[in-house]
């Protein structure tokens, strides 16, 4: 627009510049949203749309873990743990976040003795950096009666919350020795419980004088007995069963791989083999939490975000995350929303295939 003397109006220039900047920001955001899904194989399109959008639905936590969808009628809600807060939070689809359980992990008072020191992932010395002991609980699941089962981490046990609210310790020892940090937990259809244990619940980790079991492992609770079923992995973390429950997948944690094991009729495991090694990707992130969809594909936290991996161990694609991913869970009425616990925040993204409850 020109004035009567032929000069361009300053107001017009400012308005045009602001609009251009707004369009640039909007377009950049749109491009960022579209690029959150990185396709490695054409098969990925059937699992997640290339323009699927990642949405942050809650934030401001210390270290989120244990994402678990609890179905209620045609809806439900999400539970997740905040390990340094020692609480389980409840998120409802209306966006409300409330405390579901306090002291879900360590229940003593000498909290300075337990839980290794961790950070919120921000740069040391920078704004927002925090360091804290990991005193709370970690993985969550439901048994076939709908009771909450908790890997208490710094509590060094597997606990179950009964329908009347009472707490039952299902396992805190193997061969008389205390666990060092129960990490993740799943339940088989027949009621068999599998869980991982390491040393993360101890302040000095593997060097802690309170450590009683000196090899990380995967354990089974069956008919009240605790059995070690995997002892050949230096670092254990998340685990999941295939849809037919004939294969158990176990994460190598900081070693960044996934191993597969055949599930025997008595619940024990055999024929362990490497499914995939993720160390070819230099991005930060470990093999932490994992879920499977109805076709047996694994949705795995790993370097850079959430890896989608075929049952044969092929990397199909990655969902990029702005924070280090810790755990994942399929939720919603159709089980086609992937919820992601990532350090200080909870995210969600819609997918094209349903997950296994």
Would you kindly state where each structural domain of the chain is located, as residue ranges?
A: 35-350
Which candidate, 122, 145, 119, 147, places its Cα nearest to that of 132?
119
Provide the pLDDT for residue 34: 55
Q: Is 243:292 a contact under the CB 8 Å cutoff?
A: yes
Provide the pLDDT for residue 2: 40
Specify the residue for token string 């047996």.
Answer: 296
Provide the pLDDT for residue 338: 98
Q: Is 329:67 a contact under the CB 8 Å cutoff?
A: yes
SS3 sequence of 251-285: ECECCCEEEEEEECCCCCEEEEEEEEECCCCCCCC
Query: 323: Cβ–Cβ under 8 A, 6 or more apart, which residues?
Result: 121, 342, 343, 344, 345
Give the number of residues written for the chain. 357
Q: Is 268:300 a contact under the CB 8 Å cutoff?
A: no
The tokens of 125 are what? 């010395």
Q: What is the pTM of this model?
A: 0.90
Burial of 348 (0-12, 13-18, 19+ CB in 10 A): buried
| Fold (CATH) for 35-350 | Neuraminidase (2.120.10)
Note down pLDDT in tens along the chain; length 357 residues. Answer: 444 444 444 333 333 333 333 333 333 344 344 579 999 999 999 999 999 999 999 999 999 999 999 999 999 999 999 999 999 999 999 999 999 999 999 999 999 999 999 998 888 999 989 999 999 999 999 999 999 999 999 999 999 999 999 999 999 999 999 999 999 999 999 999 999 999 999 999 999 999 999 999 999 999 999 999 999 999 999 999 999 999 999 999 999 999 999 999 999 999 999 999 999 999 999 999 999 999 999 999 999 999 999 999 999 999 999 999 999 999 999 999 999 999 999 999 999 999 998
């Amino acid at each position: 627009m020109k004035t009567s003397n032929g000069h361009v109006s300053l107001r017009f220039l400012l308005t045009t510049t602001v609009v251009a900047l707004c369009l640039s920001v909007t377009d950049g955001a749109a491009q960022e949203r579209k690029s959150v899904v990185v396709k490695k194989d054409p098969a990925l399109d059937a699992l997640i749309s290339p323009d699927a959008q990642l949405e942050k639905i809650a934030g401001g936590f210390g270290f989120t873990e244990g994402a678990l969808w609890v179905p209620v009628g045609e809806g439900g809600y999400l539970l997740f743990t905040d390990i340094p807060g020692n609480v389980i939070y409840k998120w409802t689809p209306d966006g409300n976040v409330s405390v579901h359980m306090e002291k879900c992990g360590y229940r003593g008072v000498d909290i300075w003795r337990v839980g290794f020191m961790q950070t919120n992932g921000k740069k040391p010395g920078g704004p927002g950096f925090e360091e804290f002991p990991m005193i709370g609980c970690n993985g969550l699941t439901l048994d076939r009666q709908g009771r909450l089962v908790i890997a208490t981490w710094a509590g060094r046990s597997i606990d179950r919350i009964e329908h009347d609210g009472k707490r039952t310790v299902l396992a805190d020892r193997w061969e008389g020795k205390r666990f060092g940090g129960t990490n993740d937990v799943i339940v088989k259809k027949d009621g068999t419980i599998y869980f991982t244990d390491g040393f993360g619940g101890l302040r000095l980790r593997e060097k802690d004088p309170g450590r009683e079991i000196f090899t990380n492992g995967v354990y089974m609770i069956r008919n009240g007995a605790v059995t070690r079923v995997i002892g050949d992995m230096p670092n254990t973390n998340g685990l999941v069963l295939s849809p037919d429950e004939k294969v158990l997948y176990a994460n190598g944690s900081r070693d960044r791989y996934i191993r597969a094991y055949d599930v025997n009729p008595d619940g024990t495991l055999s024929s362990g083999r490497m499914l995939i090694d993720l160390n070819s990707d230099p991005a930060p992130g470990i093999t932490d939490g994992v879920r499977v969809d109805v076709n047996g594909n694994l949705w795995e936290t790993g370097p850079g975000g959430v890896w989608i991996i075929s049952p044969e161990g092929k990397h199909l694609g990655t969902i990029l995350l702005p924070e280090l991913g810790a755990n994942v869970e399929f939720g919603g009425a159709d089980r086609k929303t992937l919820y992601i616990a990532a350090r200080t925040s909870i995210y969600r993204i819609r997918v094209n295939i349903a997950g296994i409850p």
